[in-house]
Structure 1
Amino acid sequence: MTRPDPATLQEQLLAHSRGVAFFDLLGLEILEAEPGRSVARVRMRPELANPVGLMHGGVIASLIDTGIAYALLLREDVQDALHAGRSLVTVDLRVKYLRPVSAGSITCESRVVRMGRQIIHTDAIVTNDAGKEVARGDAIYATAESNQPRPDRPEPAG
């Protein structure tokens, strides 16, 4: 199976992001994506509030995790690993919450810090409409053997 060229892959990933049910639930939008960097946004609405009316921390964590994933998915080395039958998985995700979010939108800029053969270090900064930081995140991802069957490989016997 041949891979699409980088521009086509970018278009496909951005189009795909508009059809993910979880993203729709959060109102999550991928605004920009390029190899090693992405920008994503979520707008505050009542469904995303915790019991005291602030944006739920899980929404912010999901924004960070998703933003980082899109920064990774456009990298050629990650695409090579995926096409070799490996999976991209989050190993560790840490979020530092700096300010509450009660209105407006938050924007996450994610980037790849270091790409090893199997371990990938990333970080993200989340800002509000005023440009103030509301959270910082860092994550470790790995490319791992996939446990999903691939159409181009026979199923193991037994």
Structure 2
Amino acid sequence: MNNNPNPRLEFFLARIGQNMSGSISPFGSWLNGTIREAAYGRLVADFTIREEMTNPAGVLHGGAGTAILDDLIGAMVYSLGREYAYTSVNLTIDFLHAARVGEVVTATAEVIREGKNIIHCEGRILASTGKIIAKCATNLIQTSVKIGL
């Protein structure tokens, strides 16, 4: 892993405590998390569970939980400062606890192994009580799309 700052990581560091409504990801803007921590290979954000993020039982929809983790992991990989964009190859998720409307959950995205073409990451969503709501593992692969700093 690289500990040198880069403009993309600096972008997230400058937004700690701010919401992600201005994210470069339109879906990330809709999710509208608040960045709590940014470091090379790690991004943490809080999300308020809104009614449109729930299933008929009134708890966080599995798709919305997956989206939170996938989008946060994507933002974290973007912050690594690589020359090319990365995209998910797979994402395996376990749902372990419920989150209800109005609850604030904390999502964490971390690099586990950073290879030349494949980056393996893990993510977690925790309730304010510390209970694990969901956890995932994912692999992202380098694309041929160059991205600017």
Please indicate, yes or no, whether the TM-score normalized by the shorter chain is above 0.5: yes
Count of residue correspondences: 138
1:127 aligns with 2:126: yes
1:28 aligns with 2:33: yes
**Alpha-carbon deviation of 1:95?**
1.0
Aligned-partner Cα distance in 2 for 1:120–1:111 = 10
Cα separation, partners in 2 of 1:19 and 1:50, compared to 1, 3 Å: same
Residue 64 of structure 1, aligned match among 69, 78, 83? 69
1:141 corresponding residue in structure 2: 140
Q: Please state whether the residue corresponding to 2:143 is helix, strand or coil.
A: strand
Q: Please state whether the residue corresponding to 1:6 is helix, strand or coil.
A: coil
Residue 87 of structure 1, aligned match among 85, 91, 94? 85
> What amino acid is the match of 1:19?
G
**Alpha-carbon deviation of 1:23?**
2.9
Deviates more, 1:117-126 or 1:21-30: 21-30
Deviates more, 1:114-123 or 1:86-95: 86-95
1:42 aligns with 2:41: no
Cα separation, partners in 2 of 1:87 and 1:27, compared to 1, 3 Å: closer
Tell me the TM-score normalized by structure 1: 0.75
Q: Which runs of 5+ in 2 are unaligned?
A: none
CA deviation profile, 1:58-107 (whole Å, cap 9, x unmatched): 111111112212322222xxx24x2xxx3211111111000111141111
Cα separation, partners in 2 of 1:136 and 1:143, compared to 1, 3 Å: same
Q: Which runs of 5+ in 1 are unaligned?
A: 151-158
Aligned-partner Cα distance in 2 for 1:40–1:28 = 6
**Alpha-carbon deviation of 1:8?**
4.4
1:156 corresponding residue in structure 2: none
Alignment root-mean-square deviation, CA: 2.5
2:113 corresponding residue in structure 1: 114
* Bigger radius of gyration among the two: 1
> What amino acid is the match of 2:21?
R
> What amino acid is the match of 2:50?
R
* Larger relative helix fraction: 1
**Alpha-carbon deviation of 1:24?**
3.6
Aligned-partner Cα distance in 1 for 2:30–2:139 = 25
Deviates more, 1:61-70 or 1:120-129: 61-70
**Alpha-carbon deviation of 1:17?**
3.7
